[in-house]
Structure 1
Amino acid sequence: MTRTALTRDDVLDAAAALVRQLGPQALTMRKLAAELGTAVTSIYWHVGNRESLLDALVERTVHEMGAIRPAGRTPAQRIVSVARRLHRELRERPHLIAMVHERGLTDRMFLPAQQALVHEVHAAGLRGARAAEVVRSVQYQVVGFVLVERNRDRAPVQSPARGELWDSRTAEHDPALARALSRPADPEKLFETSVRALVSALLEPPARTREADPN
């Protein structure tokens, strides 16, 4: 059977898969050629040397992260949808995101998602510094959540275990709370709950204080 001609996208797809699975240190031209069933010289012809390949992967990641689009009927729903998609994209490609960061392109990578958030924040009636605060708060919530998840995944086995730490006493005599906290958290549900609460609070009109009338 005749093999379909290798393309630049084929090379980048295979390289991205290797980086996602094993990290950039595992990406060698020889290993990539073996994955594709081709000669190393063919890889060089399509993407140049390894550094050029890494640059291409970074540019591709930045481009893919720019494809985030909001969904929903209200500004709040659309902001949550952007946060949800951003969270998923960051979590699914940690090694590629790290490469983007190392090359000083993090701000550029986040710009399209920030612009989508700006549009929805404007639709919610917020402007200026207040709008910027909402955009940054959502972004920091997403990035912070991903970092906590990654650190949790890398953490050693805990001793004492969570179930040994939580009882009626440590939960202030709330046994239902103790049982809940002794079980592993559901990251998806926790993220959804926290980001919805954050967005709801951020989009609320600021409380208006009235100066006391001395008369």
Structure 2
Amino acid sequence: MTSQPSSPKRALTRDAVLDAAAAMVKKDGPRALTMRKLAAELGTAVTSIYWHVGNRESLLEALVERTVADLGEIRAQGRTPAARIVSVTRALRRQLRGHPHLVAMVHERGLTERMFQPATQALVHEVHAAGLRGTRAADVVRSLLFQVVGFVLVERNRERAPVQYPGDEGLWDEATAEHDPALAKGLTGPPDPERLFLLSVRAMVDGLLGPAPR
């Protein structure tokens, strides 16, 4: 019996190299990415990797550029200015949560502002649509960006070091909760990040779009 001819090996491309490198970084972080491991993952020689993307530093730079581009344009959704602004913050949080190691690489290379540009541009447009201008509009945009980034950092910290956040059952009782059992129960249970994020951002947006403070 004659053996069937094997299928031709798929040609290696720059995009394929970047796809594999991005997957490795997303799984284990930038430090785990080596040219030798990447070549093994792709079933090719290290020299082929160098030919397509250059050295490791060039590869990391290409990943950063691609990450910034992949984050893409953020489109607001909703019928009211407040709802549309909240939708932008939610989209930015999803992006940051979905690419933690790649986002860290972007930050390390000083391209954070560029990475945030699509979300910032969307917020500027919606804040203008809400009737705000000038310094007050800038303060609103930056306050919301700080809220999103700070929230994501807290989430990531809890995930990376859960031992630092043990159960709070022993910390809250009727006395420490000032005789508010519902509050004690709420503080004892695990937090719902999505609900807390929406609660805090909606409150911020309502306050920031209201009358200017004295």
Q: Normalized against structure 1, the TM-score is what?
A: 0.91
Q: Which residue of 2 aligns with 1:61?
A: 67
Paired with 1:145 and 1:157, the residues of 2 have a C-alpha distance of 19
Q: Which residue of 2 aligns with 1:105?
A: 111
> Over residues 36-60 of structure 1, what are the superposed CA-to-partner deviations in whole Å (9 max), with x where a residue is unaligned?
1222122111111111000000111
> Over residues 82-132 of structure 1, what are the superposed CA-to-partner deviations in whole Å (9 max), with x where a residue is unaligned?
111111111121111111111111111112211110000000000001100
The percentage of counterpart residues that share the same residue type is 73
Q: Which residue of 1 aligns with 2:3?
A: none
Q: What is the SS of the residue equivalent to 1:126?
A: coil
Segments of structure 1 that go 5 or more residues without pairing to the other structure are 210-215
Q: Which residue of 2 aligns with 1:162?
A: 168
Counterpart amino acid of residue 181 in structure 2: P
Paired with 2:200 and 2:165, the residues of 1 have a C-alpha distance of 28
**CA spacing shift, 1:160–1:98, aligned 2, 3 Å:** closer
Q: Which residue of 1 aligns with 2:27?
A: 21
Q: Which residue of 2 aligns with 1:178?
A: 184
Counterpart amino acid of residue 85 in structure 2: I
**CA spacing shift, 1:196–1:160, aligned 2, 3 Å:** closer
2:158 and 2:165 in contact (8 A); partners too: no
Q: Which residue of 2 aligns with 1:36?
A: 42
> Over residues 61-85 of structure 1, what are the superposed CA-to-partner deviations in whole Å (9 max), with x where a residue is unaligned?
1112232222222221111111111
Paired with 1:4 and 1:84, the residues of 2 have a C-alpha distance of 39
Q: Normalized against structure 2, the TM-score is what?
A: 0.92
Q: Which residue of 1 aligns with 2:99?
A: 93
Counterpart amino acid of residue 100 in structure 1: V
Paired with 2:135 and 2:166, the residues of 1 have a C-alpha distance of 45
Segments of structure 2 that go 5 or more residues without pairing to the other structure are 1-6
Q: How many residues are matched? A: 208
2:158 and 2:164 in contact (8 A); partners too: no
Paired with 2:164 and 2:26, the residues of 1 have a C-alpha distance of 27
Q: Which residue of 2 aligns with 1:123?
A: 129
